[in-house]
Amino acid sequence: MDTRTLGRLQVSSLGLGCMGMSQSFGARPPRDEMITFLRDAVERGVTLFDTAEVYGPFHNEELVGEALEPVRDDVVIATKFGFAFDDQGRQTGVTSRPESIRAAVDGSLRRLRTETIDLLYQHRVDPDVPIEEVAGAVKELIEAGKVKHFGMSEAGVATIRRAHAVQPVTALQSEYSLFWREPEDAILPALDELGIGFVPFSPLGRGFLTGQVTAATEFGEGDIRATLPRFEREALAANLALVDLVTKVADRKGVTVGQVALAWLLAQEPWIVPIPGTRRLERLDENLGSAAVELTADDLAELDVASTTVEVHGERYPEAMQKMIDR
C-alpha cells in the first residue's frame, strides 16, 4: 500500500479504526477473530491502527495490543486520553489534567504491550484545563520516551494553534466525509499552514456512504446509530439523496459507493489519511481498494456538487455529545 505523511509520521494511505471491535456497532465479536483480523490487516499493508482507552472502555487497547505485539515494529499505534472514569470503569466526562494524562498513558502502555505510543491524541478538548498545560504534559511524555507524536481530536483552530506553539501537533483527528464537510471552512487551511496531518474518522459516515444503509434499515441493540439524529427515520430518508448521487459515479466507474467516498477523501490533500472502521475482511479489502480508484476532475466536481446541494438532516451527535466538540 502507498504511504502518506502526517506531520513527520509516515503511515499507510488508509488506516484502520478499531473502535467497532469493542463497542458502538452491536455485539462485540469474538476476541480471537478480531486478533486474526488485525493481523490480516497488517499483512495487507495497513500500518496505522487507531484505538483509545475509552473504547470498551479499555478492551480495545488490550485487543490491539495483543494482536499487534508480534509486529510492533512494523505498525503505528494511535491512542487517546481525555475521559474520566468511575470505579466501575464507566465514562463520566472529560478530563485532561496533567496528572490524569500521565496516568492514562501508563495504562495505555500496559494494555498496548508497548514501551512507547506512536501517536497520542487528546480525545476531546477539556474546557477546564488550558490547552497549554495539556500540550506541556504531552511534551514531557515525549521527552520521557513514552510518546512519539502529539495529536488532537475535534479541536478548533484557535485551540490547535495554542497547543502547537507549546508542542508541535502531528495530526488532527475529526469527522470528515462527503457526508460532513465542515472541516473545509477553517480546519483544513490551518492544518495546511501549520504542517499538521489530518485523520478523518467516520469517513464513510458510519456506514451511510457504503450504500448498505436504506430507509428501512433497523439499527439493533448496542448500535450507536440508533441514537444519532442523522439516522432517525425521517432524516435518514432525506439524507439518502446524497448516496443516490454518489452511486451514479460509482456505477460509472465500476466500483462501490464506499470506494468512491474514500477515494474522494484521498484526493482532497496528500496529508489526509482516513481510518474507516470495519470488522470484516471483505469490507477491509473493499476499503483498501479505494486507494486505486482514480477520480477525474469531472468526477470530483460532480461529487462536490452532490455533497453541497443535498442538505444533510440531523445533527452529528445528541446534544450532550455535541457539547464536547471544540470549535
Q: Annotated catalytic sites, by residue?
A: 55
Closest CA to 133 of 173, 86, 95: 95
What spatial distance separates the first Cα and last Cα of the chain, rounded to whole Å? 34
DSSP string covering 193-235, please? HHT-EEEEESTTTTTGGGT---TT----TTBGGGG-GGGSHHH
Can you tell me the distance from the alpha carbon of 183 to that of 177, in angstroms, rounded to the nearest whole number?
Answer: 9
In the three-class reduction of DSSP (H, G, I as helix; E, B as strand; rest coil), residue 191 is classed as: helix
How many C-beta atoms lie closer than 10 Å to residue 190's C-beta?
Answer: 17
Can you tell me the distance from the alpha carbon of 264 to that of 256, in angstroms, rounded to the nearest whole number?
Answer: 12
Phi, psi of 326 (to 5 degrees): -95, 120
